[in-house]
A and B are shown apart, each in its own frame.
Chain A
């Protein structure tokens, strides 16, 4: 297997409406130019994001997933994000164990609510994911339906 740098990685972002989406909106209001290959699914709280959804996205050909939530102590739902962080970190470990790699899951809890922060996170995530081997050929060689 040789490494192929992905030209246009596809990224899915789960953004909580109270921190992550505010950063995304702020970037929009500032007309900050961003790469276009990402889609945002807004959620009430990052704790709503199921690990299943992340895996389904990866199996469906999406190259990287980002989960944006609020900072520790800043969740409007009584620290529901604390459980979300633990859950997502465990998912990162599992992604490593299965060979998919933890760098495909980006977690930002409280670091994406300003416009320049959102911009930085998106751009660096795109850079990071584009250096990874595309999952598609790897998955299909193992017989995983994608």
Chain B
């Protein structure tokens, strides 16, 4: 049946001066599926694409084969134009005879022409077997749910509300603010933490679009992209919230270095958080202080750098050096991490105010000397080679941020992943705030240890991403693609052939397949909102019941047969 219109693009001479279009036209005219052959100068130019579209509309043939450039260059645009003009995507085949043929076989036009002929035949075979996937649309609940009311969560909530959408915030403690409530000053501008936090807290109290739920614990989560239902209990009451998107801003917790450097055994060996607490309740008394960096971080168990501990030590060490007359302050480190445009100056200011820096190596950590309270710290200075014995009355240990204990449970409820350390995983490579489930975002220290400044930035960014979902009244599953453009399709199960073995359920990288009971037996069903058409399930199916219609086995078989 003659149902294919073929358009050969000359690409303004780039293709047709190597490839013999006469040969192509001759071969195509012998093919009974070809209804129309048309040569165009340059399909991506407006005049030519319009002419092509009108030709397609005039003819009875419903399938289109474009022989032009690669799908990764202009070919994509041509296909999109045709789809916009009403041609169904699965009825279009794009054959690359430029990057994949004319341009790499320029020294052999005869072989290039034969190859172009073969590639076009493969395209025709593909068109004869390509089918259309199912799609579905869901109405989006135009509200957001933020889990966590630290700086990241607060910034996210306010940003979403600013754009006119309702927001609910679930927080496990009694008041908002997260870890920022526990510190006195923020680096690098040494601003009071409460001053920084107040405008955010006032905004969430006053803004009618924002509802704050303190002392909440999430019990279960249902639903999918665009329609989540979160069940939680707050102050002895059980409740639930519906939302279109979820932003996770649950932060992290401090690592307590029990057993390291005499922590817990020797008096006056404390963590940075306890130092902050002593400042806040004005019980800090020290004249000779030693800060030790990388305690429980950048070692074999936790090889990462927690980003914030060096600036925090600079902040606290400078404070003592400046405020306490005659103070002696040391920072023992394995490399001071101060990236960006403000932290280098912060470091030099600390140096200028009299803080002394000694570098030690991981294999030779400093030694705490003292029986019931700390008296000296002995450290081997790796740069000078001299072992120094520093008199001290307080040792402050910089420990990393580690994931909350609850992360794994929350991740499982949401259907997202945690990384090897336990922080929530982002989607590689270009979706730093998104997770495996579309519509669920991560920001702040829940994702990776960051300062409050960066938490706020990430919260705002996550809010932006979230609103791009909320502003659509309906979301089509085919638009939830991880790559530029729509999805290639969706996996489709032939329920008559499916034996319910569960291979596809096990292997799907997006947990899109589920076994369901159908007339007394189990068959696989595909959740179209989750399926990304990667095709991982297809080779694993023992009898080929699951296929991607736009790339099914008949199409591949047909292409292989016509390849040479």
Contact = CB atoms under 8 A, between A and B. Distances in A.
Interface stretch (B93-101, B196-204, B259-267, B293-301): B93-101
A73 interface: yes
A51 interface: yes
Interface residues of A, number: 46
A99 B539 CA distance: 23
B298 to A, nearest CB: 22
A76 B483 contact: yes
B324 interface: no
A2 B257 CA distance: 71
B119 interface: yes
B545 to A, nearest CB: 13
B509 A62 contact: no
A29 B536 contact: no
Given A28-B99, A31-B104, A39 B539 contact: no
A83 B436 CA distance: 18
B73 A49 contact: no
Contacts of A106: none
A39 B115 CA distance: 8
B539 A24 contact: no
Contacts of A78: 427, 436, 509-510, 534
A18 interface: yes
A129 interface: no
B436 to A, nearest CB: 6
A72 B111 CA distance: 36
Interface stretch (B207-215, B245-253, B554-562): B554-562
A34 B101 CA distance: 9
A85 to B, nearest CB: 12
Interface string B545-558: 00010010100110
Nearest to B557: A56
A3 B560 CA distance: 26
Interface in B514-564: 532-536, 538-540, 544, 548, 551, 553, 556-557, 559-561, 563-564
Contact of B536 (A42, A56, A80): A80
Given A33-B105, A39-B118, A83 B507 contact: yes
A5 interface: no
A29 B561 CA distance: 28
Contacts of B559: 41
B538 A28 contact: no
Nearest to A36: B111
Interface in A18-43: 18, 21-22, 24-25, 27-29, 31-34, 36-37, 39-43
Contacts of B42: none
Nearest to B550: A44
A49 B559 CA distance: 13
Contacts of A28: 70, 98-100, 103-104
A41 B118 CA distance: 12
A31 B557 contact: no
A18 B488 CA distance: 13
Interface string A117-138: 0000000000000000000000
Contacts of B122: 39, 41
A40 B564 CA distance: 11
B421 interface: no
B535 A47 contact: yes
A61 B564 CA distance: 9
A80 B534 contact: yes
B106 interface: yes
A50 interface: yes
A10 interface: yes
Contacts of A79: 509
Contacts of B427: 78
B482 interface: yes
A50 B70 contact: no
Contact of B563 (A24, A39, A47, A74): A39
Contacts of B557: 53, 56
Contacts of A48: 534-536, 538-539, 548, 551
B58 interface: no
Interface string A58-76: 0011100000000001101
B286 to A, nearest CB: 46
A113 B559 CA distance: 24
A50 B548 CA distance: 12
7 contacts: A18-B483, A25-B72, A40-B96, A41-B556, A76-B483, A77-B532, A78-B436
**Which 7 A-B pairs rank lowest in CB-CB distance, beginning with the nearest?**
A48-B535, A28-B99, A77-B534, A78-B509, A36-B111, A47-B536, A50-B539
Interface of B: 70-73, 96, 98-100, 103-108, 111-112, 114-115, 118-119, 122, 427-429, 436, 482-483, 488, 507, 509-510, 532-536, 538-540, 544, 548, 551, 553, 556-557, 559-561, 563-564
Given A10-B563, A50-B538, 10 more contacts: A17-B72, A18-B483, A31-B104, A40-B100, A44-B533, A45-B536, A47-B536, A77-B532, A77-B534, A78-B436
